[in-house]
Structure 1
């Protein structure tokens, strides 16, 4: 057993009485694991999520081996798994009187008895959807169907609850089927975008014409310049009468004023790909997040009417200050998408992702790539501003290369372009999470941004971190990984305290998340397993949390790796495990046993501590 003094640099200091070895830790967890889980371990359970068996390497510029960091790059790309061989037709599930839309070509079952003979066992006696809203739309396919089906397999309803929820919608920004049809057939019109793109093309022509005329004028009037030519009306000869059109010429004032949003002194939950889904945002709203934002959505997919991409724009009624984040690299598609969303969804602001570091986005010029393509970036911002009735915000990094910050040059320009809020992650693209966020540089940039508010982002893991961040000139704080590791961080910041949260309270948070997931993704088999997958992705971050009562030194730093330790009870120890099999065990406590063909590999590796 290692003492606190012997722990290597970058490892969290835990009280000596709680420290243990890897072997004793896993032996302890195995002793409390259900027998079937010990006898039949899942294929993924033996692989630690944070320590892959074969370390991935690459060669640096000198030909030496270099460890790869960041996302799990070796993770195979899999299509969504199907967990039912035979599924019941939606027309039967929803008990429609009309015939099936697909007729004889329908590939789903229409015999309820046949479906029930192959359906997996129910997971419990209580259905969250039925007990909350009075009706479960998944009927007999619900994995908690016994709570709301009659002996004749008819779906029951609670009339009192149904009346209470009549006309109320808990989720907004759903994709209209007629709009989807128009998008797929390219029949949707974008008059605002077309008008803007014409001004851009005219502006380019005017600039070229101005440059040609200036060049000709300088050649023909070179000899007259010494004599001091007369100017009409006494005008200064240095002032050119012909030149590129101004910003006011390019962007006409809109007849309606933009919606005003007060961003200052608020806690902003970052738009988190994969984990920043609607159920997770609901959890964070409960703990005090002021601003929430949907996951990064690709504008090309939105313009094609893809249902999966539009699902990222959904907004729960509890999200009172909500925005969506768009990713794209061309002025035409970004402006079209902004105009489309302005007309069809309910948001308080739209955010441009110019900080995404992943290769897929960067190499085509999006994300961080926009920071180096200022001409395109300006056209995107001005174009989106011209068609939006809500504020336009931007999320950036310090720069692209590790030792070459460029944000301070870009921020004064963005103020001219009309950005309403700038959020800055205090690292470059190359750094990812291997270095601490540069809050001194964020402070410098916040002064350059004034009066436009600038939010700082990076390494906020405790209320002390938040207090230090507020001592800089930032207008507010964005929280990303800190919220994934401990979503109650928002409460800690607002109440200026450390919350020594118990394992039971943490399990209740996970239970709420699964209930919200069943409401969002469905309570049938597909919905349950989708909820489980997102729960497991979140658990790959939650396992990094170290309870306050176990720490030798408070607070825990975000880049400190937890050593092996025993919790104050079995559940606390189980939640500290970084093995996929133990995360699956936690999911089984909330969502029942996993299907036989279930597999899971996390998107992120816990390798960004030092």
Structure 2
């Protein structure tokens, strides 16, 4: 006879799997351990003595993974043997050919041979060369007709380069090589973060005075050219108050949400041109930043057009948060740091990051308090309503965030379980805003038009502003619509011009060689997986469009409009080929995000 308690749990799991209504997160760790041996195949034998109906031997089917395509591979692989060595790509007008000092370099070193096998140029004009007077990809540029000579030399327009350096747009927050080496060798001096030694909140509070003393002294040293002389007075070690930090006026600002994968620098530039007031980089993992990973540091890069820019961090303990906060404040030009408490991804959640921090209040308090104490720029927090559908907890944390030192709270009106399958709960967002007062609160969720924005502000008058995510992906001109209070019937040619501009920004950001072109194509296709959902205003029966309503297949007013509305990835690839040339032979694409956000 089997134990009735264990059998009862097994029975509940079998029924739940059949209905697909339960997540493993509802079950305690103890019960999970009991079930672990039987997760693949459960032999459930409930006897009559247990007062349960007998259940037959059944298989546990793995719960369907929603929200992401988990089996994606790389869209394109570079063949190093057919690519020119980086030491040769900037060969100038001199007769000297630079030498490669790498041992066993796998790249090609014969310039003439490379030019013979190099794929045909995509276009005759290089965007990077035109705006800056030089192309950083040199001989490998796929648009190199105007700056590559027939004998394999790279031209530079000195006049245009000097003009660009003084007047042009630039990308900031590049990772310096010496900083990267110091991080990898663990030689970087984290003098403030070294004080963070405890998870225990009561002990962490005792460190506030020591931390703020060091922060204040550091600020005084930066302000004064002379070294401090003499004894430290009370004025030197007075605690830095919240109001004495750098402040940002959040009132009536339109925010671009930090969007994983698609919220890259070229896309943020597009949104800035359409009127976004505040931008934030994609979610960056603190552990990767502290290891000096180039792919993670690319997420904190900032364009000069982004006048108010922040970085969103994700971690599961105060050590990582404080070290990363200190590092970014010292080495980058950013205006605020945002703590991610809303990431629903399984891998992040199970490790205690993102939404997982909402289950660990002591650790969460230590993270917010310590990071706020170390920073002299505002600290903001972005979270969901809670973890489970029927258990909203954001209103409980809202006043605590205020007391712990946060300067702003953004509330996404869905729980972790809901992901994007339900409409955002703006009534609950108002509850959170009232509980957080006087802490400024932003609302986030389901804003796709000026009408949605107006309704949100009327529903929650306490809001300081709104944050827009998927709405900006579907129609980045939404910021213009809100500021001009109109519904913009944008034509297909205007939308295609936006894609052209994105492609140019991508080539400037990722490069115009083979790798840069395919990176630009990949992120363009990821954006098109959202952009195709836009429905032209003139074709709507009841405008404006709602974000969670799936439209039927329709024919546009011209062939281009019909093509841009196609849900097929093969049609998105056709659009990319209009801008970036034919895809390579070994190219394949599967979007990261599934289009499951319709109800």
Determine if the alignment matches structure 1 residue 555 to structure 2 residue 544: yes
- Aligned residues of 2:196 and 2:207 also touching (Cα < 8 A): no
Residue-by-residue CA offset, 1:104-132 (whole Å, 9 max, x unaligned): 52221111111112111100111101111
SS of the residue corresponding to residue 337 of structure 2 reads strand
Match of 1:233 in 2: none
Match of 1:113 in 2: 112
Q: CA deviation at 1:162?
A: 1.2
CA RMSD of aligned residues (A): 2.1
Q: CA deviation at 1:140?
A: 1.5
SS of the residue corresponding to residue 545 of structure 1 reads coil
- Please identify, of 60-69 and 419-428, the stretch whose mean Cα deviation from structure 2 is larger: 60-69
SS of the residue corresponding to residue 352 of structure 1 reads strand
- Aligned residues of 2:475 and 2:534 also touching (Cα < 8 A): yes
Q: Distance in 1 between matches of 2:264 and 2:386?
A: 27
- Aligned residues of 1:70 and 1:608 also touching (Cα < 8 A): no
- Please identify, of 548-557 and 133-142, the stretch whose mean Cα deviation from structure 2 is larger: 133-142
Structure 2, unpaired ranges of 5+: 1-12, 22-62, 220-243
Match of 2:170 in 1: 170
SS of the residue corresponding to residue 252 of structure 1 reads helix
Q: Distance in 2 between matches of 1:65 and 1:373?
A: 27
Q: Distance in 2 between matches of 1:71 and 1:64?
A: 19
Match of 1:43 in 2: none
Which of 262, 281, 305 is matched with 2:268 structurally? 281
- Aligned residues of 2:312 and 2:339 also touching (Cα < 8 A): yes
Q: Distance in 2 between matches of 1:201 and 1:372?
A: 15
Determine if the alignment matches structure 1 residue 72 to structure 2 residue 78: no
Q: Distance in 2 between matches of 1:371 and 1:490?
A: 31
Q: CA deviation at 1:470?
A: 1.2
Q: Distance in 2 between matches of 1:155 and 1:249?
A: 57
Residue-by-residue CA offset, 1:510-566 (whole Å, 9 max, x unaligned): 000000000000000110010000000000001100000000001000000011111
Match of 2:158 in 1: 159
Q: Distance in 2 between matches of 1:370 and 1:482?
A: 27
- Structure 1 pair 503/169, CA: closer, same or farther in 2 (3 Å)? closer
Determine if the alignment matches structure 1 residue 463 to structure 2 residue 450: yes
- Aligned residues of 1:267 and 1:490 also touching (Cα < 8 A): yes
- Structure 1 pair 320/539, CA: closer, same or farther in 2 (3 Å)? same
Q: Distance in 2 between matches of 1:116 and 1:505?
A: 36
- Aligned residues of 2:387 and 2:416 also touching (Cα < 8 A): yes
- Aligned residues of 1:172 and 1:346 also touching (Cα < 8 A): yes
SS of the residue corresponding to residue 400 of structure 1 reads strand
Match of 1:89 in 2: 85
Match of 1:9 in 2: none
Determine if the alignment matches structure 1 residue 252 to structure 2 residue 212: yes
Determine if the alignment matches structure 1 residue 538 to structure 2 residue 527: yes
- Aligned residues of 2:247 and 2:378 also touching (Cα < 8 A): yes
- Structure 1 pair 479/103, CA: closer, same or farther in 2 (3 Å)? closer
Residue-by-residue CA offset, 1:309-360 (whole Å, 9 max, x unaligned): 0010000000000000000001111111111111000000000001000101
Q: Distance in 1 between matches of 2:80 and 2:87?
A: 18
Match of 2:192 in 1: 192
Residue-by-residue CA offset, 1:158-197 (whole Å, 9 max, x unaligned): 2221120235660000000000001001111211011243
SS of the residue corresponding to residue 382 of structure 2 reads strand
- Aligned residues of 2:274 and 2:479 also touching (Cα < 8 A): yes
Q: Distance in 2 between matches of 1:95 and 1:59?
A: 67
Q: Distance in 2 between matches of 1:202 and 1:296?
A: 26
- Aligned residues of 1:196 and 1:250 also touching (Cα < 8 A): no
Q: CA deviation at 1:420?
A: 0.3
- Structure 1 pair 98/388, CA: closer, same or farther in 2 (3 Å)? farther
- Aligned residues of 1:180 and 1:305 also touching (Cα < 8 A): yes
The 5 A counterparts of 1:131-146 are 131-146=130-145
- Structure 1 pair 528/73, CA: closer, same or farther in 2 (3 Å)? closer
SS of the residue corresponding to residue 175 of structure 1 reads coil
Determine if the alignment matches structure 1 residue 61 to structure 2 residue 41: no
- Aligned residues of 2:341 and 2:354 also touching (Cα < 8 A): yes
Q: Distance in 1 between matches of 2:262 and 2:444?
A: 17
- Aligned residues of 1:70 and 1:433 also touching (Cα < 8 A): no
Q: Distance in 1 between matches of 2:376 and 2:392?
A: 32
Residue-by-residue CA offset, 1:448-501 (whole Å, 9 max, x unaligned): 111110000000010010011112121100000000000000100111100000
TM-score (normalised: structure 2): 0.82
Q: CA deviation at 1:264?
A: 1.3
TM-score (normalised: structure 1): 0.81
- Aligned residues of 2:503 and 2:520 also touching (Cα < 8 A): yes
Match of 2:127 in 1: 128
Match of 2:44 in 1: none
- Structure 1 pair 157/361, CA: closer, same or farther in 2 (3 Å)? same
The 5 A counterparts of 1:117-516 are 117-166=116-165, 170-197=170-197, 203-204=202-203, 249=209, 252=212, 254-255=215-216, 256=219, 257-471=244-458, 472=460, 473-516=462-505
